Chain A
Amino acid sequence: MTAVNTAKFSLITIAVGAVVMAFAHWVNVDYLYFASYTILQFIVLATAWNILGGYCGYVNFGSAAFFAMGAYSSVFMHKFYQVPIPVLIVIGAAVSGLAGLGMGYLTLRLRGSFFAIATLALAVVLQTLVVNWDFVGGSRGAYIIRPETLEFAGLTINYIEYLFFLMLSLAVLALITARTIERSQLGFGFATIRDDELAAEASGVPTLRVKLIATTISGAFMGMAGAPFPYYIGYLQPSSAFGLEYAVNSIAMPMIGGTTSWIGPLVGAILLGSAQQYATVTISSAVNLLIVGLMLVGFVIIAPNGIVGLVQERLRKWRQP
């Protein structure tokens, strides 16, 4: 790998983000904003999942729960005291990050599979709580009227463009965070846990603390991805916030892209995300989820290192014939 340090990487990522934003503003089609928002949201979710799953080797099945916590903390604030969306994102991050920390503290001291099982059950229980909580809409769901435009510094901004911009910034932030962690001491700590937790513990890596940091960061990003969601969708009901597609996609995307570096979830999210946008319009949404599931099973069996792994292997063979 060529040496690109963190500062350079951040600048490049921000520049790419700015180009995407400028391009989207130039095209300026509402449908494009809506479709790309979903893909960006999946980039954030997949990257967040990978910080715990890919770097540490701990599987989180409850992505939907963390996502929904972010979304429902926004609904709560909408009814309680209205604040701008960037503040909601911070609140969503805090709520989901704390939930991640708590879950991790209770289950990460045990064998790895217990954490996975607990996250799986977490989604069911949180959904039960939300269905029974009338303040945030209960099982009927909650309406959030999205304004058409936003006034900011004398400018009138198309609201969906504003949401798109926020999610794009989150995606950039998530990628920079993931890549920074990868190259830092913390990232090496994560990798030792993934490879051999016992050996890591024996060599003095504070494994529990490192794992808790991972669950907190990962949960926080999922909450951030969920926070603007009620404004995007306009009508939030438990079954859409806790939708299975979030849990499945945030696992399938890194697994199909490749889990060992930041680029895997990005590739997976862009490929699967755009394919699903296309398939939802042309075929049915159930069929497209089936395809994602089959691809997940196929990739974990045949290509354990995902698309990135396949490309790396090809490059190596090409360089050394």
Chain B
Amino acid sequence: MDISWDLLLNAIAAGLLLGAFYAAVTAGISISFGMLDIVNIAHPAFVILGSYIAYFFNINFGVDPILVSIIALPFFFALGSGVYQVYYLSFEKRGQESLRGLAFFFGLLFVTEVTLILVFGVDYRYVEAAYIGPSIHIGIVDFPLRMLVPCAAALAMFATLQLFVTRTFIGRAIMAVSQDQLALQLMAVDPIRIKRIAFGLSIATAAVAGALLIIIQPIEPSVGREYIGRVFAICVLGGLGSMPGTLIAAMLLGVVESITATFYGPSWAPAVSFGFLLLTLAFRPAGLFGR
């Protein structure tokens, strides 16, 4: 087959930028599913909620979407802590998380999506910012700013998270609770409080990821469902809860998806992540960098 090299190079570059954004969407899942073992399938719905909040403030008050998401962080954190408290009291404490807990998150996903449909309708929405439109050319490769800015923001968020979990007391406590909850209790740390903080943190990342999403593409409420397969594929491939692993897996998926979209058409791209997920589960469930 005659491969056009500039197309391929462009696809790889676009894939890397896209991958960094996927990593931002997956960061929350890496914390909740990877570290806390909470199968939060509603995470993409919270991401879409973040997108609509960015949209609302951008269109009505002209605020930059990323700035909106940073202001929204404490609110999303509180929302996440609240959701965890309900989840803990109703399911985790009674040992019912596997069936009813999953149904609970599925219900949340669904309620959020339908509420957004009722409030904003099913039309595609987009934001306006100075960096949407122009692009930088390096040689034959294009770097649209619309992708480059979210990529930079995602990497910054990722670096902050990685520093937080490895350097601060609470971050290390989160890592500890993912390994041995009882041991944490023996060290006089309340594991439920740590898990509440961690889950709040995971939902807070959804605010940023949502703002980045609406910069990259116009959205409507059901877009989130496309991300469920993607984020869990990345999380599992990255080795459940390993931040560097998540970033590398996200980049890999981004590049493969981008190449598929370039050479076989964009309508095939959603199938790639599922293929990734199934292959990973079948051959290497511990992920690429799992212990």
Contacts and interface: CB of A to CB of B under 8 A. Distances in A.
Interface string A48-72: 0000010001010100000000000
B159 interface: no
B39 A117 contact: yes
A196 B226 CA distance: 33
A117 B232 contact: yes
A153 interface: no
Contacts of B228: 117, 120-121, 124
Contacts of A290: 111, 114-115, 118
Interface stretch (A2-10, A169-177, A296-304): A296-304
A206 interface: no
B274 interface: yes
Contacts of B170: none
Interface of A is mostly: helix
Nearest to B274: A125
B103 A117 contact: no
Interface string A69-113: 000000000000000000000000000000000000011001011
Nearest to A117: B232
B229 A301 contact: no
* Interface-central residue, A121, A122, A255, by most chain B CB under 10 Å: A121
Given A128-B270, A301-B90, A114 B281 contact: yes
B41 A120 contact: yes
A59 B281 contact: no
A296 B106 contact: yes
A59 B277 CA distance: 18
Contacts of A24: none
Interface residues of A, number: 42
A163 interface: no
A61 to B, nearest CB: 6
Interface string A278-316: 000000001101101110110011001000000000000
A290 B116 CA distance: 10
B285 A118 contact: no
Interface in A16-46: none
A289 B117 CA distance: 11
A113 B270 CA distance: 21
Contacts of B278: 106-107, 118
B75 interface: no
A124 B114 CA distance: 18
Contacts of A114: 236, 281, 285
Contacts of A293: 107, 110-111, 114
Interface residues of B, number: 45
* Interface-central residue, B104, B114, B226, by most chain A CB under 10 Å: B114
A121 B274 contact: yes
A212 interface: no
A217 to B, nearest CB: 18
A124 B265 CA distance: 17
A117 B277 contact: yes
A107 B283 CA distance: 11
Nearest to B118: A286
Contacts of A53: 99
A131 interface: yes
Contacts of B107: 252, 293-294, 296-297, 300
Contacts of A57: 98-99
B281 A113 contact: no
A248 B41 contact: no
B118 A287 contact: yes
Contacts of B91: 300
* Interface-central residue, B39, B103, B277, B281, by most chain A CB under 10 Å: B103
A267 to B, nearest CB: 17
B282 interface: yes
B281 A300 contact: no
Contacts of A110: 281, 285
Interface string B218-233: 0000100110110011
Given A128-B268, A297-B107, A121 B118 contact: no
B103 A59 contact: yes
B274 A106 contact: no
Contacts of A113: 33, 39, 98, 102
Interface of A: 53, 57, 59, 61, 106-107, 110, 112-114, 116-118, 120-122, 124-125, 127-129, 131-132, 194, 244, 248, 251-252, 255, 259, 286-287, 289-290, 292-294, 296-297, 300-301, 304
10 contacts: A121-B273, A125-B229, A244-B113, A259-B99, A289-B114, A290-B118, A294-B107, A300-B104, A304-B94, A304-B100
A-B CB proximity, top 8 nearest: A121-B229, A297-B107, A125-B274, A296-B107, A293-B111, A293-B110, A290-B114, A113-B39
